[in-house]
Amino acid sequence: MSASVLLVHGDDGFGLDTAVRAFAAEIDASDTVEVNAAAAPDGALERAALEAGTMSMFGAHLTVLRQPLKAAGRSTAAAERLLALVRDLVDGSALALLEERPSRDYAKPPALLKRLADAVRELGGRVEEHAAPRRGELRAWITGHAARIGIQIEVRAAHVLAERIGGQIWETDVERGEMTRIADSELRKLATYAGETPITVGDVEALTADTRPASVFAITNAIDRREPAAAAEALRRALAEGQPGLRILASLSGRVSDLIVARDLAARKTPQAEITKRIGRGNANVASRLVDAAKRYRGEELEAMLVGLFEADLAIKSNAMDEEPALVAWLGEFLLARRA
């Protein structure tokens, strides 16, 4: 007999939960106990170690430790205890480690995650990575998942469903972890409605609400393109989702400031390398995009926009205006009321 251990990580919450359920079925777990370090990090490692050492008379006793890196925190000693939880797992034990990471940090895995993966492999366990579909990938996921669970859906309907969930959003500050879970839920609801016939575009339009996640970057990107309507819609979504108004204002101030500098550097025929260093933070593509965006505005327009943002910031912090009306008023005065 040997210990069974699984590490699943990524930003696809639905995929991670599905992988743990499949692992439980694979090892014939008779019961499962979850320890959620995100909800209660203090003592999570001790509780997980205690549960992992518990044996069951019938089938395996599976311990699931959610967010193990949260349990370790920033403590070197706690990190070693986390690794020891895996290395010292007794024969006959079953342990699943589930680490759901934010989409915005997905490309930067922490060092402890790699050490944890190495420990799992050394014990003969399995490591799985589950990434949420990126821009343009959700439609294919929907059609593939529908086929796996025996649901018929037209390709065009899958495209509309993916779009309504947020599959076409490309901004990097968007959290994608729940998109596949929402897609699964919507597919099952639509299948019940459609009955024996394939799900159509009309079914999706009638039953699926637009739940595209908000993005602060979507607001600044619309400013870059000088698309007032898109900026207004992105702002509406961000505020409705509860994004802090001062955070949005800070992002706008930073972007307008960059556009002012970009316009000035381009007018002085500054070398591209210097522009990249000054406003692109070393990224030539970002610098080029900002220079192109700055050309859509006159210098005095950008300066007025920045002054307007300072005034909005002052109005909010002095309690003269709430965040939402201050931002809406700025957008209305400096973008919606002006022609490109």
Residue 286 shares a structural domain with residue 234: yes
Residue 260 shares a structural domain with residue 178: no
Residue 46 shares a structural domain with residue 157: no
Residue 254 shares a structural domain with residue 327: yes
Q: How many domains, in total, are found in the chain?
A: 3
| Spatial distance between the Cα atoms of 83 and 120, rounded to a whole number of angstroms | 9
| Spatial distance between the Cα atoms of 214 and 169, rounded to a whole number of angstroms | 9
Span 9-14, average pLDDT: 96
The pTM of the full predicted model, rounded to 2 decimals, is 0.71
Count H helices and E strands in the chain, helices first: 16, 5
Q: Is the pLDDT of residue 113 over 80?
A: yes
Residue ending a domain, choose from 63, 98, 130:
130
Residue 118 shares a structural domain with residue 145: no
Residue 271 shares a structural domain with residue 167: no
Residue ending a domain, choose from 174, 189, 207:
207
pLDDT at residue number 329? 93
pLDDT tens, 83-96?
Answer: 999 999 888 889 99
| Spatial distance between the Cα atoms of 73 and 148, rounded to a whole number of angstroms | 38
pLDDT tens, 202-239?
Answer: 999 999 988 777 778 889 989 999 999 989 988 988 88
Residue ending a domain, choose from 88, 114, 130:
130
Q: By the 8 A CB rule, do 34 and 98 touch?
A: no
CATH number, residue 271: 1.20.272.10
Question: Could you tell me the residue range of the domain that residue 50 belongs to?
Answer: 4-130
CATH number, residue 75: 3.40.50.300
Residue 114 shares a structural domain with residue 180: no
Residue 149 shares a structural domain with residue 242: no
CATH number, residue 163: 1.10.8
